[in-house]
């Protein structure tokens, strides 16, 4: 274990107290007394996740686990047999259900003989999705993506890929869990962390905040350089998760601006309020551009260039569609657009 040298850097209104320094994959570095930063590799375009190891006194507390992959499991074995071998893992906390966060939770829970702790919404959705495996996508999912502008070639590629990618990234989950609720206080070593939950990116995302030293383990709710994915899925096609997400980030504005934010991706930072402003404005700018684009009826796929400002490869269509529909549904819910359906295709037009 080591500590990061402080070489503060300012960028786009945020202050990064450790600059661009970061741990190597599988290495622990201390960023505050008893709080260790751990990075693990991801097999995606976003190539890493930050995990956190907290000194609980006579035990370790793990926050998030990484994706279920041999490489990440090997890193954990090396840690448990090396730097963490001096005391047992006493708690395993997961912020939310996405595979890069919960992927090895079942494996670590069994290996370390500790319960999984997370919110009810995250645990139940993860359990459902690990069971949702089939040779090809359900007809309802194909109809959802077709309705939002997918081509026959894109739908054929989805059929060929099968159904159940979530389960491939997540080890077998335990049958039960220990529930975390908004407002719960967790004693971890000398600190008391308050559970703050949010939604939009996921159903009941858990953040942990220590008021004594103003430290926030933010998971994916607040990231310094990228915006959390907020998507609509075939399971709830008319949902408006963007409302939930914008309300959730406003909830964090009650925390001090100089809070040290320990995010799941990119580097630790301060000036939380500036980042909350940027995140809200990013979505509002997208909504304004989208509203102007909808002078003629458009599908979600039609809106990709306007929303993302770059070509979207076919392998990204599923996530891009979810994000586009989230923004379109927000405009419909606010009365700023209307949905027109013909021949099973949804097109959206700006309201008069």
- Is the full-model pTM beyond 0.75? yes
pLDDT digits (tens, 9 = 90+) for 296-311: 999 999 999 999 999 9
Query: Across all residues in the chain, what is the average pLDDT?
Result: 96
Phi, psi angle pair for 98, to nearest 5°: -65, 145
Beta-strand relationship, 185-188 and 191-198: antiparallel
Domain membership of residue 177 (yes or no) is yes
Domain that holds residue 227: 2-134+163-283
Domain membership of residue 347 (yes or no) is no
Domain membership of residue 157 (yes or no) is no
pLDDT digits (tens, 9 = 90+) for 227-244: 999 999 999 999 999 999
Domain membership of residue 35 (yes or no) is yes
Neighbouring C-beta atoms of residue 325, cutoff 10 Å: 29
Q: Is the pLDDT of residue 22 over 80?
A: yes
Place of tokens 């990013």: 282
Give the pLDDT confidence score for residue 44 in this predicted structure. Answer: 82
Q: Is the pLDDT of residue 211 over 70?
A: yes
Domain membership of residue 150 (yes or no) is no
Domain membership of residue 174 (yes or no) is yes
List CB contacts of 266: < 8 A, sequence separation 6 or more: 50, 223, 224, 225, 226
CATH number at residue 72: 3.60.15.10
Give the pLDDT confidence score for residue 1 in this predicted structure. Answer: 67
Dihedral in degrees, nearest 10, Cα atoms 113, 47, 267, 247: -80
* Count of domains for the chain: 1
Query: What six digits make up the tokens of 293?
Result: 């684009």
Domain membership of residue 300 (yes or no) is no
Please give the helix or strand (H or E) that residue 245 lies within, else none.
helix 241-251
Domain membership of residue 53 (yes or no) is yes
């Amino acid at each position: 274990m080591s500590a990061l040298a402080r070489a503060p850097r300012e960028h786009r209104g945020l202050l990064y107290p450790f600059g661009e320094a970061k741990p190597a994959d599988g290495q622990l570095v201390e960023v505050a007394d008893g709080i260790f930063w751990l990075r693990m590799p991801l097999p995606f375009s976003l190539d890493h996740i930050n995990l956190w190891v907290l000194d609980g006194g006579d035990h370790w507390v793990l926050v998030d686990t990484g994706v279920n992959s041999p490489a990440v499991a090997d890193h954990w074995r090396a840690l448990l047999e090396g730097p963490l071998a001096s005391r047992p893992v006493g708690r395993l906390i997961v912020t939310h259900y996405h595979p890069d966060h919960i992927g090895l939770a079942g494996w670590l829970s069994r290996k370390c003989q500790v319960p999984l702790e997370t919110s009810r919404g995250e645990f139940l959705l993860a359990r459902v999705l690990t069971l949702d495996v089939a040779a090809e996508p359900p007809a309802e999912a194909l109809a959802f993506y077709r309705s939002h502008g997918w081509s026959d070639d894109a739908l054929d590629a989805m059929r060929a890929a099968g159904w159940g990618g979530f389960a491939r990234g997540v080890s077998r989950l335990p049958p039960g869990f220990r529930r975390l609720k908004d407002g719960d206080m967790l004693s971890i070593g000398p600190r008391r962390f308050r559970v703050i939950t949010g939604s939009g990116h996921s159903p009941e995302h858990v953040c942990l905040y220590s008021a004594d030293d103003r430290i926030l383990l933010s998971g994916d709710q607040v990231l310094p350089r990228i915006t959390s994915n907020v998507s609509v899925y075939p399971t709830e096609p008319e949902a408006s998760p963007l409302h939930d997400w914008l309300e959730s980030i406003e909830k964090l504005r009650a925390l001090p601006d100089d809070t040290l934010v320990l995010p799941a991706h990119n580097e630790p930072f301060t000036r939380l309020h500036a980042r909350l402003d940027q995140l809200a404005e990013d979505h509002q700018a997208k909504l304004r551009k989208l509203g102007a684009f909808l002078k003629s009826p458009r599908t979600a796929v039609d809106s990709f260039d306007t929303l993302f400002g770059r070509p979207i490869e076919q392998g990204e269509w599923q996530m891009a569609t979810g994000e586009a529909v989230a923004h379109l549904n927000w405009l419909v819910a606010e009365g700023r657009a209307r949905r027109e359906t013909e021949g099973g295709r949804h097109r959206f037009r700006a309201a008069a």
